[in-house]
Amino acid sequence: MAPNSDPGFPTPPTAGRSRNMAAIKRRDTKPERAIRSLLHAAGKRYRLDFRLQLDGARPRPDIVFTRARVAVFVDGCFWHCCPEHGRQPGVNGSYWGPKLERNVARDRAADEALTAAGWTVVRVWEHEAPEKATERIIAAVDAAGPG
């Protein structure tokens, strides 16, 4: 059954909004590509969108340094409730409020599972300057050892 055919599933208010939401990418976003480019230029090699199998969790960081055990997430301000730029949508709040809360809860669960498994987690907001974010990531990778 398609999501829109379920009477309990909230539908977008307009067809245009539906197209807009369907076009949002899960990976290869502009901030993520900028950070990856800077990491590559700095000689850092990584895996992309790599699912990790941990006890009780299967997080999928955007950028993974497997040897150094550093997981990087580039979080969108809207989708992950940025304290600076995140906002609650004015339309269809009964759907978006719980959806965004689940995203944040999933983020925290991934952080806890990764940390418990000995990984370093770096979270970057999409509004952060790519250069500053890259410096933080490189510092975490270098502190973790060879990688």
**Cα dist from 117 to 49, 111, 112, whole Å:** 18, 10, 9
> What pLDDT is attached to residue 146?
65
> What pLDDT is attached to residue 25?
64
pTM tops 0.85: no
**Cα dist from 28 to 35, 77, 106, whole Å:** 10, 16, 20
Query: 69 by DSSP, 3-state: which?
Result: coil
pLDDT tens-place values along the chain, 147 residues long? 444 555 555 666 677 766 766 666 667 889 999 999 999 999 999 999 899 999 889 999 999 999 999 999 999 988 898 988 877 777 777 888 888 899 999 999 999 999 999 999 999 999 999 999 999 999 999 999 765
8 Å CB contact between 147 and 141: yes
Query: 40 by DSSP, 3-state: which?
Result: helix
> What pLDDT is attached to residue 109?
95
